[in-house]
Amino acid sequence: MTETRRLSLIGLAALLALVAVGAGPYVLDTYSVNVLTRSLLYAAVALTVDLLWGYLGILTFGQSVFFAIGAYAAGLVFTHLDFSTSTAFLALGLAVFGALFVAAVVGWLAFWHGASALYASVITLVLPIVATQVLYSGGTFTGSSSGLSGFMSFDISMEGWFWLAGGFLVAVTTLAFIVVNSDAGRLLVAVRENEQRCKYLGLDTSRLKILVYLACAVIGALAGYIYAGYAMVVAPELAGFVFGTELVIWTALGGRGTLLGPVFGALIVDYESAQLSGDYPFVWQLIIGTVFVLVIVAFPRGLLPVFVDVPRRLIAMVRKRPAAPGVPVSLSTLDASETQGEGPGDGPALAVEHVTKRFGSLTVLDGIDFSARAGELVSLVGPNGAGKTTLMRCIADGAERTAGTIIVNGQDIGRRPPEHCVALGVGRKFQMANVFDTLTVAQCLQIARTRHARPSLWRRASGLALPEATMHVLATTGLDRQLSTPAHLLSHGMKQALELSMVLALEPRVLLLDEPTAGLTKTERMQIGGILTDLTTRQGLCILLVEHDLDFVREISSRVIVLHQGRIVLDGSVEEVVQSELVKQVYAGSGHAGIAHQAQGEPA
């Protein structure tokens, strides 16, 4: 399907939804129109819970607070300053800026560098409790536990409020649908799936989370503002933990990560709750709770995925092949002039000076000193626990080391986080293949190019230009024929190759590879060896390689550094290392006789 056709279909669906909203007051009774107006606004807030939880992986109980900020901005202004056109705009401004201010403070606290998802959830859990207490203690200003009522509002009919609430919901849902399905929206899934990989691809995930959180806060506040105008009553319960949790329940019930699921979940459950609370005032909550438990036990992904998956599987069975996820992407090679060619000049590409790393009283690295030039492949070998991976971590993340200096391309990395080290030219491949499992090969590569090619907020690109080094890996390993394959279906070797391609797509000048051949077949090892040699000799990359396969090290290294108990015991040519008595003792002493055996011509 072409992009134009896809966007036209979304537009058509939005138009049909607007027609349904327009027809609502003519086919529904007055009671239903009244209740559904509230449900439509609640559904818009449930949508923000889905964006944060379903797409970004942040379980939040605090979205009720932003709804209440919008509602109270209107309630307070219309109560204390009377209603007029100017006070209506004042209240709207207060709603938006109040929500932005609170979201900025909470977002900064919840998503600062290094904060875990649990930490963010706890903060959003505390938020409604604090907000409710503030409203309770506001005396006559906030109306305390009774809230505010009896204020004047917009002169709009009940049908008008229904259309306004419905139009608002259709607008935010359509917008959210377009954004989450765009190239930029895919970043949300990438962060949810593997935030660490995102950071090491140079993406500022904290900033992305805060931006989405701010947008969700504004949507919640606007819904609250409309609610106050229509209901003409606001109460502390709007900011409460119970409402915040209900939003999460509606999202889970409808199907998180689907947008439409939470919208319908909120509409149906809120509307039915209103009906049941009238018909069965003492047991309605028990009925709703029981249904929720049954649905979640039977359909852990919620209801919408069930309705969507069944027809999708039937179509796939008829076609006798699964539908390929995402649009087909065609690859092209970036022109050499378009790639970042900045090297370190005459100096070393990487300089490690007196680097020390301690975990409490345990010193894992002790005064490491070495440098490496562009075009050099330096292998880091040593027994298990020598500190090789820790040294890689210190080079790729400025916050890791305890002391010492690391200079990349002539620039001190200081205490910079991984995403900033990427900008200096560091690319890190992890020991275990670290990719985005639910995304396709092409989508993983698109995410890796985000730093260089800003993704669209509404379109999905059908072409992807990659640096020559990445194209070389894709062609050599055959990954270029599997662009539509989800990463979790790839073999171990292909996943390793994909991660290497992603790191090379960053156009690094210093490439850190932690056991890239672990678990690979002999053929795959030879392929990777050829690629690494090519990267150093032809592309001029500086590669630091951690490797246990000493045959492999011998074949491709320009230099070998031997680490033992956190210190460099030898830094020399392959032959020097192989001949070294000290190195033989290091390996023999630790039970790893690899180098010692090889020096005597025996297989490792």
Ligand X SMILES: Nc1ncnc2c1ncn2[C@@H]1O[C@H](COP(=O)(O)OP(=O)(O)OP(=O)(O)O)[C@@H](O)[C@H]1O
Of 375 and 404, nearer to ligand X (C-beta) is: 404
CA nearest neighbour of 365 among 547, 570, 565:
565
Minimum Å gap between C-beta 354 and ligand X is 18
Of 224 and 387, nearer to ligand X (C-beta) is: 387
Q: Which of 364, 372, 464, 577 is close enough to bind ligand X by CB under 6 A?
A: 364
By CB neighbour count within 10 A (0-12 exposed, 13-18 middle, 19+ buried), where does 292 fall? middle
Assign 603 to helix, strand or coil: coil
Minimum Å gap between C-beta 548 and ligand X is 7
Contacts of 529 (CB under 8 A, 6+ apart): 517, 552, 555, 556
Residues 535-554 that bind ligand X (CB under 6 A): none
CA nearest neighbour of 68 among 28, 113, 127:
127
Minimum Å gap between C-beta 569 and ligand X is 13
560 belongs to the binding site for ligand X (CB under 6 A):
no
Of 459 and 597, nearer to ligand X (C-beta) is: 597
Minimum Å gap between C-beta 566 and ligand X is 7
Of 508 and 566, nearer to ligand X (C-beta) is: 566
User: What is the SS3 assignment for 39-56?
Assistant: HHHHHHHHHHHHHHHHHC
Q: CB of 504 within 8 A of CB of 473?
A: yes
Of 358 and 420, nearer to ligand X (C-beta) is: 358
Residues 153-182 that bind ligand X (CB under 6 A): none
Of 41 and 543, nearer to ligand X (C-beta) is: 543
Residues 79-98 that bind ligand X (CB under 6 A): none
Assign 464 to helix, strand or coil: strand
String marking each residue 445-484 x if it binds ligand X according to CB under 6 A: ----------------------------------------
Contacts of 318 (CB under 8 A, 6+ apart): none
Give the long-range contacts of residues 271-278, CB within 8 A, separation 24 or more: 271/32, 271/35, 271/36, 271/39, 274/35, 274/39, 275/35
# residues near ligand X by CB under 6 A = 11
Of 50 and 514, nearer to ligand X (C-beta) is: 514
Contacts of 37 (CB under 8 A, 6+ apart): 158, 161, 162, 165, 230
Instruction: Give the position of tokens 């060619």.
Output: 341
Minimum Å gap between C-beta 419 and ligand X is 21
Minimum Å gap between C-beta 386 and ligand X is 4
Type of residue found at 144: S
Minimum Å gap between C-beta 389 and ligand X is 3
Of 357 and 416, nearer to ligand X (C-beta) is: 357
Type of residue found at 293: V
Minimum Å gap between C-beta 390 and ligand X is 3
String marking each residue 313-352 x if it binds ligand X according to CB under 6 A: ----------------------------------------
Minimum Å gap between C-beta 516 and ligand X is 13
Of 4 and 384, nearer to ligand X (C-beta) is: 384
Q: CB of 445 within 8 A of CB of 433?
A: no
600 belongs to the binding site for ligand X (CB under 6 A):
no
Of 44 and 546, nearer to ligand X (C-beta) is: 546
Pairing outcome for strands 463-466 and 542-546: unpaired
Of 265 and 594, nearer to ligand X (C-beta) is: 594
Q: DSSP for 366-404?
A: EEEEEEE-TT-EEEEE-STTSSHHHHHHHHH-TTS-SEE
How far is Cα 147 from Cα 136, in angstroms, rounded to an integer?
Answer: 8
Of 219 and 563, nearer to ligand X (C-beta) is: 563
Q: Which helix (DSSP H) or strand (DSSP E) does residue 139 occupy?
A: helix 139-142
How far is Cα 537 from Cα 508, in angstroms, rounded to an integer?
Answer: 15
Minimum Å gap between C-beta 385 and ligand X is 4
359 belongs to the binding site for ligand X (CB under 6 A):
yes
Distance of CA 288 to the CA centre of its chain: 33
Minimum Å gap between C-beta 235 and ligand X is 49
Minimum Å gap between C-beta 383 and ligand X is 7
Residues 374-393 that bind ligand X (CB under 6 A): 382, 384-390
How far is Cα 501 from Cα 494, in angstroms, rounded to an integer?
Answer: 10
Of 357 and 449, nearer to ligand X (C-beta) is: 357
Minimum Å gap between C-beta 116 and ligand X is 15
Contacts of 592 (CB under 8 A, 6+ apart): 383, 384
CA nearest neighbour of 44 among 213, 271, 211, 220:
220
Q: CB of 510 within 8 A of CB of 542?
A: yes
Residues 389-418 that bind ligand X (CB under 6 A): 389-390
Minimum Å gap between C-beta 549 and ligand X is 12
DSSP 239: G
How far is Cα 592 from Cα 604, in angstroms, rounded to an integer?
Answer: 9
CA nearest neighbour of 192 among 58, 56, 60:
56
Assign 540 to helix, strand or coil: coil
Of 98 and 387, nearer to ligand X (C-beta) is: 387
Give the interface segment with ligand X, choosing from 64-72, 83-91, 130-138, 356-364 (CB under 6 A). 356-364
Minimum Å gap between C-beta 422 and ligand X is 21
Assign 153 to helix, strand or coil: coil
Q: Report the interface residues with ligand X, using CB under 6 A.
A: 359, 362, 364, 382, 384-390
